[in-house]
Structures are given as C-alpha cells and as structure tokens.
Amino acid sequence: MKTKFKITALLLIASLMLSPFVYSEGETYPPDSVMNVSDLPVGDIVSDTEFGNFTIISATDGLTAVTVDSNSKQSPVTGIKYSKRLKLAGTGSTLNRAVKFTAAGPATLFIEGCSANKNETRTGVVVNAEGETIGENSFSSGMENKQYDIPAAGDYWFYSLNSGINIYYIRLTYEPQPVYNFEDMDGIVTEPMDVIYTAPMAPADGAGTEAEPMSIASALLNIAPGGTIYCSGRYEFEKCLLIDAANCGEPEKEKRIECSEGTVFDFSGEPYSNDVGTNQRGVQINGSYWHIKGLEVCMAADNGFFIAGKHNTLELCVANANRDSGIQISRRAATVSSYDEWPSDNLILNCTSYNNFDPATGENADGFAAKLTCGDNNVFDGCIAYNNCDDGWDCFTKSATGPIGTLVLRNCIAFRSGQTTDGKFTDNSDGNGFKMGGSKIAATHYLYNCIAFENKNHGFTDNSNPGPIYLTNCTAYNNALDGGSNKSNFDFARDKERSNNTLINCLSYAPNAIGADKFIGSVKNSVLYSKDKKNYYYFDDLNNVSWDSKPGTVLPTEEISSVDDSVFVSVESPELGADVHTLWRNADGSINMGGFLKVADGTAYKQMGIGADLSDYSTAVPTAPPVQTNPPQPTQTPDTDIPDYIIYAAPDDFNESVIDIRLENNTETAASPCIMLAAYTDTEAGSLLTSYAFFERGIGAGSYDEFSYDLSGVDYNKVKVMVWDSTDRLTPLANCAVITPAEPEENN
C-alpha cells in the first residue's frame, strides 16, 4: 500500500470497474476488477450470481450452500478490516462452488482468504475453459494474500480442490507486477577509501569510481572515517541494510552518505508478516558518527530508518510508506541493557516522515519515534511528520525498561496523525501529534517552536509522563478531529499527583468543537482553551497551578482579542496528499510554511510573542537544556564484576515472543560455546519443558555475539538461557539467564 506506485491501493480496493489507467510507460491497461465481499449482501447463493466482473457459482452437489456471512478479518497487505466472507463450503469445479471471471488479457489475480478449517490446509486452483490448471496455492487458517498469474484473455474459475476456502477479497489487475533487481548484500572488504561511488546493482568488487561504481553493501564496509559514499538512483532491497555497531566514524571525521536528488532505497522486497517481530527494517545504523543526507527510504517491512548508535545525523531524509515508524531511535537489542550504551547525541535534521502504516494492527507506525530505550540529547530539528497511522512523534516509555533520556524537538510539525493520505482514520491508532511519554514514567523533554494541527486526537500530550516537559512558543490548531470532546490541543495533566510541566508563549485554537486544554505546573504568556469549553483564557504568569483551579483571564480583554482566524495570516492547510517535503522547505531544508498559522503582524499576539513561527527563515535556537547530572537508569543493569563470560537474555523491545540473546567473551581466547534456550510453563506438577533449542556460536576474544530466537506459538511463562563449554563438555561458562514475559502496557 505504501510505495509511491501503490499509494492508490486503498482507492482501488473501494472501486470497481474504473476507467482505464494510463501509466508512465504510455501503455493503457484495462481497469481492475474488484470483488470486496464486505460489499455483498449476507445470505445463501442459491443460483449463479454476478458481482461486477465476477460470478459466484452456486453449489450443485446438494450439500451445504455457498454463502456470504458476517466475519471479521484483516488484510495482511493493506491492513483493511473486512466484515464479511464468501464461504465456498466444499470442494469445487467449474460447475460447482467456484468464482468465475473473464480476463481481457494477461493479468494477475489476487485472492485474500483462508482455509475454513483451522487444522487443515486447503488448495485453491485457477483453471481455464479447457480445464487446465494454470495456478494453485495453499490456504492455511490464517488470513493470506495469494497470487495467480493469468496467461491470456479468456474465462477462468477459482475453486478449492479439497473442501472449504473462505474468500474476503478478490482483485484482477492488468498492471504488470514490479520486477525487482535486489542489491547484493554480501559486501567485500578491500581497503579504507575516502571517496566511493555507488549505483543500483553495482558489483560488490567494483572500483568505487564514477565509471566503475561499487555496491552499497561493499561501500559501507570500505569507507574510511571522514570519507563520503555517493549514491544516485533507485536501489531495491529484500532485506535490511545494516551498519554494524563496530562500523563507526570518529569525532570530526564522520562517515558520510551523500545522495543526489531523487535517490531512493526501496525495501518493497522485504516480506511482511503479522508476526511483526520477524519483519526487517530498512536502514539500521548501529554504528556511530555517520551522516546520511538526502536519502528517501520507502516500504520497509518495519522501520524505515532505525538509529541505535551515537552521534549520528540524518539530514534532509524522507521516510515514506514504511510498515512501522518511519524514523526511530532505540537500542539495537534487548541485551544492550546499560543506559550508557543506548543511542544518544543523534540529530535528525530537516527530515520528513509520512504515510507510514503497519498492516498488522494500524497502531504502531509513527512518523518519528524516540522511545523505550534511547539515551540523552537526541534532537529533532526542522522535521515534519504527517499522515502517519499512529502518532507524529512517539516518545513512549514502559516500566520494563524505565525512563528514556532528554529529548529536544525544535521547529517541528506534526499533522494529520491517525490517518494516511487516503483520508481515512485508522481505528486502532493513537493519532497524537506529539506524544511525549507513557506509563507514568518521568522523563524531561523540551519542545521549541513546534506546531501540531489536524491530528486525530491530542496535538501535544504528556501521555502520563509527569515531566518536567517544557513547551516554548508552540501552536496547536484544530486537533481532536476524530477524538471527540475528551481530546484537546494541549494535554499535560495525565498524572494528577506528579505532573509538573511548563508552557511558555503557547497558543491554542480550534474552530471546531474540542476538549479543554489541560495542564499542571506553570503557564506563562499563553492562550489556552479552558474547562468551560466556551472561552479562551490568557495566562500571564502562573506557577504550580492546575488547569481546573485557576482559569486565567477570559478573552477578549481591552488589550487582547479572543482567538479566531484573523489572528493568523492564513488557516488554509495543505491539501490531503500534498508533497509537504517539497512544498514547505527552503533551499537549505529549513521549514517555510508561508503564512499558514503564522501570527499576523499588528495583533496583540504578535507583539506579545505568543505562538510558533515557521515562516520564511524563522527558526528557534534555544539555549542548551540543562545537562542531566543523574541520568535515568534502565530496569535491567549489567553486572559490575566482569567474569570471563556473560550471558544476557531479554524479550525483544518490539515483540515479546522473540528472545534477544547476547554472549560476551571477556577472555583473550576465541571460543565456540554451546548455548541452550529452554522454555517452560508452570503446571500443578511443576515446570514443564515446552520448547528448547541449541546454538553453537563462534565468538572472538574480547568480543560478543548477538542473536535472537522466536518463541511465537510456544506456551511458556519462563525462559532459561544457558551457556556451556561445548556440546561434548557441558561445563557452565556463565550464570544462567532467566526471564519471564512482562505484562503488556497500554500505549495510548
């Protein structure tokens, strides 16, 4: 759904028999034919019935009828929820329990469905008028998207060879399916180079010159500190492009990746699974001192960009249509348990993240995320998040890992969170502009000159983070579009006992019905919508107050008008689907919104310095936030004594069913130990072993090894990870690591 050539997918699903498409190659294709079973009436199909270009062939064997009934399933491709299914209810033929269609030429048939029996796999075939099978697929009990290649014009039938298959959606398309040329990810180490040129499908052993470019995988391995990799064109990948933790630049000598205009890393080839812990990211930076400029990453099965190192910079990068958060800062694995090792001092500069959507739930793909496990002084400056299915910024914390470090957001915009560019709100999404915490865990954050507008729920929210959170010159406009009267522009009072936040020069306005702005702490020179939900109030200088105890001064007064459209130069927001990265940026990449939400000259608000200003070349350059003398500590901390071997194990931050394992070898000798993972469940008779696995890992002297093991589908409530000398000699090398799955925490 999410690459540029698939942006119209949701529109196609809702349409039937559209006018012919004309593609960039100049070739015209017949229109797609679509049958969304959710659009069909409920009931038995007692005779052959046409729906558009499809005909449902009724049952002629005198057994259970073919029927349409209510049943909820979610598309594994688009995330759309279907409400009905077509039950073929038995073995079919061209005359019995089938779906017939006519192809106008070579085409591709997509069917989303599943076996009618949770314990049995069913085979669905497509046959032609001569009865020849031209394609077959297996359908399991889980929802699947199956593809059949239709070779030529003619009549075709789909049916089951061995009992019932349930169908939710069918599409016949004539547009040729994309042919990928995937990058070779096996790079070759040659020698450090200061300048390397790459190109799509360049060989791993290329010279790295403009005339003889090198593969991007090899370039990452050979670029020297202070050197630059040049990229141009569209690169296609089927797995993550990883910069290893040991692959680092140096202070004042970053490793750089410079991209010419239009450079795209396309990860459409990565398989996507509703078991999201198995999905691969796009570009993952575990190393430090990297600077990537001008790169667009699209359609990764997980995050577009994932930053787990330190002192890295993303500049003028775009994350588009990825299947989790577009740009995220978090630790690389659950075994990185020391706060000092968490990603810190990273700068995300003038980047844009939009249209990111996770098909599995529709509630995890944010524009930007710095959450769960990130260290101090990660900065977002001049960044835009829009039309992401969850939040614009997600800075969530949970008790299992504790507080995150200080974040700084300046000159940033979040809008239309909770809906993608098709304009539809996603049911499960949080839909906040700036979500600054979670789980009532205190973390200090700073926001300067930021704007939130037209988000599904809150514009700015502490999400129960008691703070302190400091907002200076921030504007919230017309949020809570789908959140009802309980959602607001500003929401900073979720922890009634401990919240202590500061709003300075902030401005709230919504022409539509909206919830009251909430705060606990200090408010200075700000205009907010108060609890009576009728008036805007001016707050001069109030300290240690609550929104529901001291309402401020009702507007208008003789000096200050109330808030309405006239306070701003313009309140005309960009059209849905506009290319905001191009529309709202100056030549240097800084944001320029023109007159939109700019406080107008001549108003009291302008004279008093209230509200954000992202017009022209206006940027906020705040004084540096205070340095934390006592940085937060994660729940899990490493041992202070360093034995010869240390084994760590923990549930993965993003999928509790995946166990991350890290073995450290602190000796001067390489080793090949044996690692055993054992899963147990408690019974009345005691602990019962439900699953186990052995791993032999080679690990260098003074080094470490990290890997993961997936326990999806295993019943367990305790996991032990043990390390022995070898499979022949079960001599323990380290203490056993024992973990138990944590209770899930609400992220809202």
Hey, which residues are catalytic here? 435
Q: Cβ contacts of residue 367 below 8 Å, gap of 6+?
A: 319, 325, 326, 327, 353, 354, 356, 384, 385, 386, 388, 391, 392, 393, 414, 417
Q: Cβ contacts of residue 223 below 8 Å, gap of 6+?
A: 192, 193, 194, 196, 229, 255
Can you spell out the DSSP letters for 12-56? HHT-SSPPPEE-TTS-EEPPPEEEEGGGSPSEEE-S-EEETTEEE
What the block records as the tokens of 203 is 């060989």
Q: Which of 534, 541, 545 is nearest to 510 (CA)?
A: 534
Q: Cβ contacts of residue 99 below 8 Å, gap of 6+?
A: 35, 54, 55, 56, 57, 86, 157, 158, 159, 167, 170
Please state, in angstroms and rounded to a whole number, the distance separating the CA atoms of residues 696 and 677: 12
- φ, ψ dihedrals at 527, nearest 5°: -120, 125
Please state, in angstroms and rounded to a whole number, the distance separating the CA atoms of residues 494 and 364: 21
What the block records as the tokens of 212 is 């003889």
Q: Which residues of 411-430 are buried (b: 16+ CB within 10 A; e: fewer)?
A: bbbbbbbbbbbbeebbeebb
* Dihedral of alpha carbons 608, 610, 615, 621, sign: positive
Across-strand partners of 647?
A: 663
Q: Which of 518, 526, 521, 517 is nearest to 501 (CA)?
A: 521
Please state, in angstroms and rounded to a whole number, the distance separating the CA atoms of residues 219 and 204: 8
Q: Cβ contacts of residue 728 below 8 Å, gap of 6+?
A: none
Q: How deeply is 743 buried, as exposed, middle or buried, from its count of CB atoms within 10 A (0-12, 13-18, 19+)?
A: exposed
What the block records as the tokens of 189 is 């180490």
**How far, in Å, are 211, 370, 443 from residue 630 at the CA level?**
53, 20, 12
Please state, in angstroms and rounded to a whole number, the distance separating the CA atoms of residues 66 and 69: 10
Report residue 653 CA to chain centroid gap.
14
Contact 281, 306 (CB under 8 A): yes
Omega before 556 within 30 of 0, i.e. cis: yes
